[in-house]
Amino acid sequence: MGVKRQTKAEKLEKADKSNLVSFESLGLDARLVQAITRLKFNSPTLIQEQAIPLALQGKDIFARAKTGSGKTAAYVLPVVESILRQREDKPEEVGTRALILVPTKELADQCLKLISKILSFTGRLIHAENISQNMNEQVQSALLSSSPEIIVGTPSRVLAYISSSDITVSTITQIVIDEADLIMSFGYEDDLAKIRKLIPRTCQVFLMSATLSSEVDDLKTAFCHSPAILTLREQDEADHDGGKIDQYVVQCSEFDKFLLAYVIFKLNLIKGKTLVFVNDIDRCYRLKLFLEQFGIRSCVLNSDLPINSRLHVVEQFNRNLYSILIATDDSNSSVGEEPGIAPPVVKKSKKAKIRDSEYGVSRGIDFQNVACVLNFDLPTTARAYTHRIGRTGRAGNSGMALSFAVPIELWGKHKASSLDTAKRDEKILDRIKKDQHKNNGEAVLKPYEFDMKQIDAFRYRMEDAFRAVTKTSVRDARTRELRQEILTSDKLKKLFEESPEELEQLRHDDESHVVRVQQHLRHVPDYLLPEAGKQSIARDLGKITARKTQQNRIRRARAMHKARTKPKRVDPLKSFKGKKVTK
């Protein structure tokens, strides 16, 4: 029998597979590798591949990598590995070993979930606690009395418990500052300075950031001792992870934003889950109520919602219960103003609500399998734009970012749909293109044009739905959501048990005036579609999809079989045959 010779391509493929770095080769404990296997992390990302070996050598790590590149696991794995080694060498010593500082409560919860999964095969050797949750202080102090090995929280919460002696800092050997640039922009400088004075100087430091700034550089000087600096370029990450984000911008009026959103979602021009960003909380509910007129379901996420509600919304979105999530990005005003561009004038209400200062959507939160990021309102800075689109194209997947930008000559033409931040869209767009040209040598953001003649057929319906969503209905929608949160609150459960009459009064309170859903708007009649029918929508309007457009082979076969076996409907008026009666 002849021996089959390998082709050159097969030899190269075999050589590439043999050169792949595995988690086992990084020197991690077998129990951690087992947990990683369960999480289906096939191979380490570029940041994990470079940071973990250096961290296990005891070096400080200062790493810059884009959102979604695996920074969280890059510091969680060496932290847990080091604690396991300490427990084996000195099992009698107990106490808190690691502090993980994050900018938002959502990121703290996400980080703790990953740590819990990593610890799934270590038994009870290591315990982790999130102190950013809305929990009674006495209960939280009781949990901290057991000295959990890992503590996750925002800098202000961590400092408060250190000051009250609930956290013993003398045993701390590692400190992590995740999303360092966002932490600084959120105003935690004083808290970090105080924490630096209280913890031991010999602590190993992990400083993780998506962007570089002078504040982050000062943080590196204050915390790190000769750190290993890992600056991963965007192209390196794309080559390593295989992910890519196609970026498009649509020039349109403020009113046409709602028309385009209606057409895009009703005709399913975007395949997969979409994360929609707006710049105002009222606008968040307005867009949700507007889409409901056409039977399009969505959920909202903003800083007015309690932390438990926000986490629940993210979980539902990740479980595919909703395909559209409309989120406000309150960090817009916190990431720094663009040089040479005047900040927008924001009208402050006399009864301004105190919102959660530890809220953030465009950074940190792990939104899973997002096919498209839609900037319904363009962000107020180029850096915020970068962070927003980082929600898609993660972990090697491809994604798309679509942004609506309002030309200055069209701004303010329609008061009901107008927003102050849109006045600066052209300047922000120029800044984004300049930054992209500087980093990539070319502008990645490309223009995208819809065939407005085809879309104008839908304008009458859009205007009808937009008029139905009044300021009163937006206000009532926010009130209704707050009432629902009160009814399901765990903190108020005991109060309602002791005073059931208060619960009954709340339940039977006057219901909010919800928007009257017009049933005829839910369906798209054929006469509104292009002349060639639904099949021509992709050609006429331009089909926007994620990269994977091929249908599953089994589903395609089932659809073909169903089409062949489905009985044809017969019009009785056309098929009726009567007998001719003769006189």
Average pLDDT over residues 184-190: 83
> The CATH number of the domain where 68 resides is what?
3.40.50.300
Three-class SS of residue 230? strand
pLDDT at residue 533 above 60? no
pLDDT at residue 538, rounded to an integer: 44
**Same domain flag for 207 and 84:** yes
**b/e for 30-41, b at 16 or more Cβ within 10 A?**
ebbbebbeeeeb
pLDDT at residue 272, rounded to an integer: 87
Which element (helix H / strand E) includes 150?
strand 150-153
Alpha carbons 158 and 195: distance in angstroms, whole number: 8
pLDDT at residue 346 above 80? no
**Same domain flag for 276 and 153:** no
Mean of pLDDT over the chain: 78
**Same domain flag for 275 and 363:** yes
**Same domain flag for 82 and 190:** yes
In a domain, 260, yes or no: yes
The type of residue at 479 is: T
**Same domain flag for 149 and 165:** yes
What are the φ/ψ torsions at residue 368 (nearest 5 degrees)? -90, 140
* Residues across the chain: 583
With cut-offs at 50, 70 and 90, classify the pLDDT of residue 354.
Answer: very low
* pLDDT more than 70, % of the chain: 72
pLDDT at residue 88, rounded to an integer: 84
Distances (CA, A) of 185 to 63, 181, 264, 330, 333: 18, 6, 35, 12, 9
Average pLDDT over residues 536-548: 51
With cut-offs at 50, 70 and 90, classify the pLDDT of residue 363.
Answer: low
Write down the residue that tokens 């301004």 correspond to: 352
Alpha carbons 296 and 310: distance in angstroms, whole number: 21
488 or 32: which carries more pLDDT confidence? 32
pLDDT at residue 159, rounded to an integer: 92
Alpha carbons 129 and 116: distance in angstroms, whole number: 10
In a domain, 386, yes or no: yes
Three-class SS of residue 111? helix
In a domain, 301, yes or no: yes
Write down the residue that tokens 């962070």 correspond to: 387
CA R_g for the chain? 28
pLDDT at residue 351 above 50? no
**Same domain flag for 233 and 256:** no
With cut-offs at 50, 70 and 90, classify the pLDDT of residue 97.
Answer: very high
Distances (CA, A) of 499 to 483, 494, 511: 17, 9, 21
Tokens read off for 370: 């997002």
**Same domain flag for 208 and 270:** no
In a domain, 41, yes or no: yes
**Same domain flag for 248 and 161:** no
Q: What's the sign of the alpha-carbon dihedral 398, 309, 374, 178? A: negative
Average pLDDT over residues 305-320: 82
Alpha carbons 303 and 314: distance in angstroms, whole number: 13
Look up the domain containing 173 and give its range: 19-237
In a domain, 194, yes or no: yes
In a domain, 176, yes or no: yes
Name the region of 483 (left: φ>0; alpha: ψ -120 to 50; beta: rest): alpha
Are 480 and 292 in contact by the 8 Å Cβ rule? The answer is no
Domain count, the chain: 2
pLDDT at residue 424 above 60? yes
253 or 352: which carries more pLDDT confidence? 253
Alpha carbons 28 and 141: distance in angstroms, whole number: 33
**Same domain flag for 399 and 427:** yes
pLDDT at residue 405 above 80? yes
pLDDT at residue 180, rounded to an integer: 86
69 or 114: which carries more pLDDT confidence? 114
Could you tell me which of 469, 479, 489 has the C-alpha nearest to residue 510?
Answer: 479
What pTM does this model have? Answer: 0.67
pLDDT at residue 119 above 90? yes
pLDDT at residue 107 above 80? yes
Could you tell me which of 375, 389, 382 has the C-alpha nearest to residue 336?
Answer: 382
Contacts of 385-388 with C-beta under 8 Å, sequence gap 24+, read 385/428, 385/432, 386/210, 386/211, 386/435, 387/67, 387/210, 387/331, 387/335, 387/362, 387/363, 388/277, 388/329, 388/362
pLDDT at residue 540 above 60? no
- Tell which of 205, 237, 269 closes a domain: 237
- Tell which of 213, 237, 261 closes a domain: 237
Could you tell me which of 563, 465, 532 has the C-alpha nearest to residue 266?
Answer: 465
pLDDT at residue 548 above 60? no
The pLDDT tens digits for 9-47 are 454 444 444 456 788 888 899 999 999 999 988 889 889
- Tell which of 221, 237, 253 closes a domain: 237
pLDDT at residue 240 above 60? no
In a domain, 569, yes or no: no
Average pLDDT over residues 392-401: 77
pLDDT at residue 256, rounded to an integer: 92
**Same domain flag for 227 and 249:** no
Average pLDDT over residues 68-93: 88
The top-scoring range by mean pLDDT among 309-318, 398-407, 450-459 is 398-407
Distances (CA, A) of 277 to 197, 264, 473, 477: 39, 15, 21, 19
71 CB contacts (<8 Å, ≥6 apart)? 47, 63, 65, 178, 208
In a domain, 131, yes or no: yes
Are 51 and 63 in contact by the 8 Å Cβ rule? The answer is yes
pLDDT at residue 582 above 70? no
With cut-offs at 50, 70 and 90, classify the pLDDT of residue 238.
Answer: very low
With cut-offs at 50, 70 and 90, classify the pLDDT of residue 557.
Answer: confident
Three-class SS of residue 196? helix
Could you tell me which of 201, 236, 190, 255 has the C-alpha nearest to residue 422?
Answer: 255
What DSSP designation does 472 have? Answer: H
**Same domain flag for 260 and 229:** no
Alpha carbons 288 and 477: distance in angstroms, whole number: 10
Are 82 and 261 in contact by the 8 Å Cβ rule? The answer is no
**Same domain flag for 290 and 402:** yes
